Structure 1
Amino acid sequence: MRQGFLAGCRPFIGLDVCHLKGPWGGQILSAVGKDANEQMFSIAYAVVEAELKDSWTWFLTTLLNDIGSVESHGWTFISDTQKGLVEIFEDILPTADHRFCVRHMYNNFKAEFKGKILKDTMWLAAYATTSIEFQNKMEEMEKLDKNAYAYLKKINPTLWSRSGFSRRSKCNLLVNNLSETFNGFILLGRDKSIITLLETIRRLLMGRFQRQTSEIDKYEGPDCPKIQEKLEKIKVVACDCHVEWSGGEEYEVQRNGKQYVVNLAQKCCRCRSWDLTGIPCIHAVASIFYQKESVEKFVHPYYHTDAFRRSYREIIHPMQSIKQWPRVDMDPVQPPPVRRPPGRPKKSRRRDADEPRRAANPFKLVRKHGSLKCGKCGQFGHNTRTCKGPIKEKRKATPRGTTTSTSLGVGQRIGKQPVTRGRG
C-alpha cells in the first residue's frame, strides 16, 4: 500500500477516525489517498484506544516516517477537524497544507446560523476558485448576516475555499469522502475482535487490489475511465466559448459574460480550475480546440492509466490461518476489558436530519422524518414517552352513518338513524 501510493497517487491524504462496534470499544485511525481514477486508495490504518492528541501524534509521526516528510513530498491533508488534529498540525506539521471538510464545517456553522440562503452562500464561497469570486461571496454573506460573516472571516480561506488551495496536490476536494468511503468499506469487520478485524480488512484490500488490476487491464486509453468521462463532458460545453489567440501560447476565452486568460505552455488558466486539478478546464479545452491539438495530451500524468497500474502493481500477499502462525516465547496479549454500551449495537452511521439518505432502490424516495409530535399533548419536539405536559382532550368519535352537523343535506334524517341514499 505504501509503495503503490508513492508510485502512482497524488500527494493528497485524507485523515479520519471511525468507531469500532464490538464490545471492546476502540477506534480506527486511517490515512486514505486518491488513485488516478479518482477512487479511494488506502495508505495506512491503526487501531487505538481513543481519539486523543497522543494517538494522532503517534499515527502521523509513524506515517511520515514511512512515506517521507512534508518538505520532500509536499503533502496536503484534509480532515474533519477532529479533536487535537488542529494543534498537531501547528506543532509538528507547520509546512503542510491542511484543509477542513466543508460539510463538517457547515454542521458547526448551521448550529448557530440557519437558513438555505446562508448555506448556499457559504458553499458558493467554498467553491470559488479565485480570490475575487471568494470576496464577492463573502460580501454577499455580510449583507445577509454580519454575525455569520464574522464567523467565517475568522477561518483562513486556505482551510476551506478553493480560492486558497495550493496547486501542488492537483486535488480540489472540499469534503472528506475518501475516508468515509474507507470507513464504509471496512464495515464488515468493525464489530469483530482485533485479530479478526485486521484480517478482514487485509482480505478486503487484497481482493480490491486484484480487482482494480484486472479492470484496468481490460481498458484501453491514455487516461483513466472517470477522467476520460469528465473530459468528454467538458468538450461539449467548451463549444460555447469564444476564443481569441494573442499570438504566442496565450488565449483569451469568453463564456457567459466572463473572460479568462489561458496559457497552454504553462498549462494554467486564470480561473484556476486547471491549476487545482491538472485536468483542462472549459476555457483550456476551447483553446486546445482552437490550436487543433488533442485534449488528452494536456492532462496531468497523475491521471494516466500507467499511474493507475503503478499504484496497484504491488500485491497484498495471502496468509495462513491463525492456527498455523509461528509461536513466540512471550505471554499472550490479553484483550481489553469488555465495555458493552447500552442499547442495540448500531451498524450504520447516524445521519443528520438534512443529510440525504441512500435507498436500496435509487428510484424510491426515502422518507425524511421531520419534527416529533407528541400524541399525548399535541406539542412538537418530543414524544409520548418523555411528555410532561397535560393530556390533550380528544374528540369523541362519531358513529358511522350518523351526523352531528346542524345543516342537513337532502336524504338525511335527524337522530341516530343511518343516512339512506336512493340508487339511480
Structure 2
Amino acid sequence: MKGLWDEGVPEAEHRHCARHLEKNFNKVFRDKTLKDPLWKAAREVTIRRFKAVMLEIKSIDEEAYNWLLAAGPHHWSRSHFRTQPKCDILVNNMCEGFNGTKSILAARDRPILSLLERIRMYMIQRLTKNRHSVIMWESFNAPRVAIVLEKNKVETGSHIPTKGSEFMYQVMNIRWELTSIPCSHAVAAIWHKREDLVTYVSKWHTKEYYMKAYSQQIFPIRNQDEWPRSGKVGMIKPIGKNQPRRPKKSRRVELDELAPPTAKKLKRRYVRMRCSGYGAMGHNFRTCARNNLNSGKDNPPADPGTYARNSS
C-alpha cells in the first residue's frame, strides 16, 4: 500500500478487536464489574483519562490490570492509537461484514478454486458498484463525514473559542487528530476564522481518494480448461470422515452480538378457554362439538357428495 499512489499511503496500524479482547478477558477474569471499565478504557481518547480508568480497574483486580497492559494499549485503546491512519474504529465490523455477505457464505463449502472464483466475481461487482456510488456523491467529502460535520455544527453553539495566535485556539480536542474530521471544538475555531470546514477534512475522506481506492480493476481470466498444464501431480482430496449433522456455514454468534428481541405473541399456555357460543370451559367456539353439529344440520354443504363424505 505504501507505493500504491504517488504520495504514498500511511502504514497500516495493527489493532485488536475490542470485542474479541473482551471475550478472552472474560475467560480469565469472570468479574462482570470489569466489563464497563474495560470498554471505557478502550474508548478514551487521551492517555491521562486512560490511566485514570486503568487505576479503577487496578483497584478492583490487579491481575486484570496487568493482563490488559500486557495486551498492549496501543492495540486496543484509542488513547494510544496513532493519528496518521485517520481511523478510530475499535472492532473488526468491516471484516465481519465482508465475511457475512451472501456470496461469501454460499462459497464457503466449495473447493478452493471454486471458492476463489466466487470471491473474485463478488469483488468485481463490489468494486464496480462502489465506483458508481462515489460518482453519485453530491458533496466533496464522503456522505458519512458530511453527517458528522453537521452534528458537530449543532454542538458548536456551546463553545466559545479563544484565539491565542493565528493558528492556535483554546478549544481543542484530540479526537480531531484521530479521525481528521473537525470536532465541535475545531468547528468553533474554524468558524471564528471564517474559513471553510471542508478544507480541514483529511484528504482520505474526499471523493478523489475514494475513487482512487476503488480504481483498481480485477480482470477476467480464461476458463479453467484453458489453463496451461504444469505436468505436476494434481491436488488430492484429503482423507476425511463425514461428521454427523449438517456442517455450519457461518460462525456462532455471541449473545451480545444478537439483535434485540422483538415483541412476539405469547403462547396461550395455562389459560382456560371458554366457548363464546355456549359458555362451556375447556374449548373455543371453533372446536366446539355442539357448534359443529348444529352448523352441519342448519347449513349443509351445497355439494351432496361432499355432505355424504362428511357424514360418513
TM-score range relative to shorter protein: 0.7 to 0.9
1:7–1:311 contact (8 Å) kept in structure 2: no
Specify the alignment match of 1:284 in structure 2. Answer: 186
Counterpart CA distance in 2 for 1:237 and 1:208 is 36
Task: Please tell me the residue identity of whatever aligns with 1:248.
Answer: E
Q: Deviations over 1:121-170 (max 9, x none)?
A: 11111111111110111122223333322332333321221111112222
In the TM superposition, what is the alpha-carbon distance from 1:252 to its structure 2 partner?
1.2
Asked if 1:364 is matched to 2:262, the reply is yes
Distance 1:161 1:214, change over 3 A: same
* More helix by percentage: 2
**Residue of structure 2 equivalent to 1:201:** 119
Report the Cα distance in structure 2 between the residues aligned to 1:329 and 1:149, rounded to whole angstroms: 56
1:8 CA drift (Å): 10
Pair 329,150 (structure 1): closer, same or farther in 2 beyond 3 Å: closer
Q: TM-score, normalised by structure 2?
A: 0.75
- Aligned equivalent of 1:348, options 233, 250, 261: 250
Give the match's secondary structure for 2:91. coil
Q: Does 1:334 align with 2:235?
A: yes
Equivalent pairs, count: 264
2:122 maps to 1:241: no
The aligned residue for residue 21 of structure 2 is: 105
Structure 1 gap segments, 5+ residues each? 12-72, 78-98, 254-261, 263-270, 367-399, 401-424
Matched, 1:74 2:11: yes
Matched, 1:252 2:250: no
Q: Is the 8 A contact 1:278 1:299 kept in 2?
A: yes
Matches within 5 A, 1:340-419: 340-353=242-255, 355-358=256-259, 364=262
RMSD: 2.9
Q: CA separation of 1:356/1:210 partners in 2, compared to 1, >3 Å: closer, same or farther?
A: same
Is 1:6 the equivalent of 2:20? Answer: no
Aligned twin of 1:310: 212
Q: 1:156-214 deviations in whole A, cap 9, x for unaligned? A: 32122111111222222211222222222322211111111111000000000110111
Report SS of the residue matched to 2:109.
coil
Change (3 A) 1:170 1:8: farther
1:227 corresponds in structure 2 to 145
Specify every segment of 5 or more residues in structure 2 that has no aligned partner in the other structure, as ranges. Answer: 265-271, 273-312
Contact 1:10 1:170 (8 Å CA) reproduced: no
Distance of 2:134 and 2:153 partners within structure 1: 24
Give SS of 1:6's match. coil
Name the aligned partner's letter for residue 184 of structure 2.
Answer: I
Q: Indicate the structure (1 or 2) with the bigger Cα radius of gyration.
A: 2
Equivalent residue for 1:152? Answer: 68
Indicate the percent of aligned positions where both proteins have the same amino acid: 32
Determine if contact 1:121/1:137 at 8 Å carries over to the other structure. yes
Correspondence 1:297 to 2:196:
no
For the structure 1 residues 332 and 297, does the alpha-carbon distance in structure 2 shift closer, same or farther, using more than 3 Å as the test? Answer: same
**Distance verdict in 2 for CA 1:111–1:76, change over 3 Å:** same
- Cα pair distance change 1:9/1:171, threshold 3 Å: farther
TM-score (norm 1): 0.57
**Larger proportion of strand:** 1
**Structure 1 match to 2:298:** none
Structure-2 separation of matches of 1:9 and 1:106: 37
Answer whether contact 1:243 1:290 (CA < 8 A) is retained: yes
2:54 corresponds to which letter in structure 1? M
Of 163, 167, 190, 2:79 maps to 163
Taking the aligned partners of 1:10 and 1:133, their CA distance within structure 2 comes to 33
